[in-house]
Amino acid sequence: MSDHKSHVEEYGDDLATLDEARSATISRERLGDVKDFWPGFTASMGEKRSTNDVRIGARLARQWALGAAGLLVVIGVSVLVPKLFRHGGPPAPPEKAAVNFRIDSVKIDEEPAQALIFQTQDQGSTFVWVEKQL
C-alpha cells in the first residue's frame, strides 16, 4: 500500500480518485437481482453423482470424444487407402495432398486436455484446437 501511496503522490492529478473508481466499476448494488446458482450447482452434482465419480465421467467423455475423432480418421483412411493402392484399372486421378493424423490422447502440462476439431466448409483446412480442461 505504501508503494501505491507513493505513486499517488508522484502522479497526483493523473490518477482516478476512489470515488471515480467506484462509479466506474460495477458495485453489488448496481447488479440488482443476482441469479441463484444453487439449482445449477445441484444439477451438476447430480450429473456427476450418476457416474459415481467425477473423474470417471470426465475420462469417459474424453474417451468418447477421442474415439469419435479416431473413428473419423479410420473412415477417412479406409476411403483413401483403397484409392491409393488400387491395382489395375484406370490410373487414379491425382489426389490433393492429404495429411492423415491420429489423436490418441492430448495432454497439456501432464493434465488431460480437450481436443476440438474444426474443418472449413471447403474442407481444405482442418484445425485441431487443444485446450486445458477447466
Residues within the interface to another protein (CB under 8 A) = 1, 3-4, 7, 11, 13-16, 18, 20-22, 24-28, 30-31, 34-38, 40-42, 44-45, 54, 118-122, 125, 127, 129, 131-132, 134
DSSP state of 12: G
Nearer to another protein, 50 or 125 (CB): 125
C-alpha cell at 61: 467423455
Task: Give 47 or 81: the residue with its C-beta nearer to another protein.
Answer: 47
Minimum CB distance to another protein, residue 83 (Å): 26
User: In the bound complex, what is the minimum distance in angstroms from residue 126's beta carbon to another protein?
Assistant: 11
Which CB sits closer to another protein, 35 or 87?
35
Strands 107-108, 111-119: pairing is: antiparallel
Residue 95 or 122: the one with the smaller Cβ distance to another protein is 122
Please report which helix (H) or strand (E) contains residue 108, including its range.
strand 107-108
**Cα angle, residue 113 at apex, residues 107 and 119 outer, rounded to 5°:** 110
Check: CB of residue 103 under 8 Å from CB of residue 66. Answer: yes
